[in-house]
Amino acid sequence: MEINSKPCLAKRIILGKNKPSAFLRFLCWSSIIWDVLLALYMLATAVVILIGGAQFGENSMLQDFTTKFCFTYAILHGVSLLAGILLYRQKKFGFWLYLISNVGLVVSTFIFLDTLKADNVQITFTLIMIGLFGSQWRKLS
C-alpha cells in the first residue's frame, strides 16, 4: 500500500487537494506538458551547443540559437511551468506569472533571434492561451 500512496502524495503536494474545473484542468495540463517538453528540449540543445560547439548551417532558421538563448528560453518555460501548477491550484498569482513568462517568451525570440522576425503562430497561440486562462479568473483565489 505504501508504494501506491507515494505518487498520490507527491501529486497532492504539487497540485493541491482541490481539483479545478474540467476546462481549467485541460488548460493547465496542456500548458504543463508543453512547458516541460520545451524546457527539456532547450536545455538539451544548450548543453549540446555548449559541449560540442555545434553550429547550425548558414541557411538554417536555427543559426542564431546560442547557449544564452536556449538557457533563457528554458528558464522562461520553467517559470511558465510553475505558473501552470499555480493555476491548477487556482491561484491568481499563477495567472500573472503565466502572463509575464509567456510575454517574456515571445519578446525573447525577437531579442535573441535575428532570423525570426515575426512568428505570428507563437504570438497568436500565446494570446489565445492568456485569454483562455483569463476567462477562468473568477474561479481563481
pLDDT in tens, the chain (141 residues): 455 566 666 666 666 667 878 888 898 889 999 999 999 998 988 888 788 765 655 555 566 677 888 888 899 999 999 999 888 888 888 899 999 999 998 888 888 776 666 677 888 888 888 888 888 878 777
Give the DSSP per-residue string, 72-99. HHHHHHHHHHHHHHHHHTT-HHHHHHHH
Sign (positive or negative) of CA dihedral 34, 40, 41, 43: positive
The DSSP line for 18-29 is S---HHHHHHHH
Cβ–Cβ < 8 Å for 79, 25: no
Query: Per residue in 65-91, is it b (16+ CB within 10 Å) or e — as a string?
Result: beeebbbbbbbbbbbbbbbbbbbbbbb
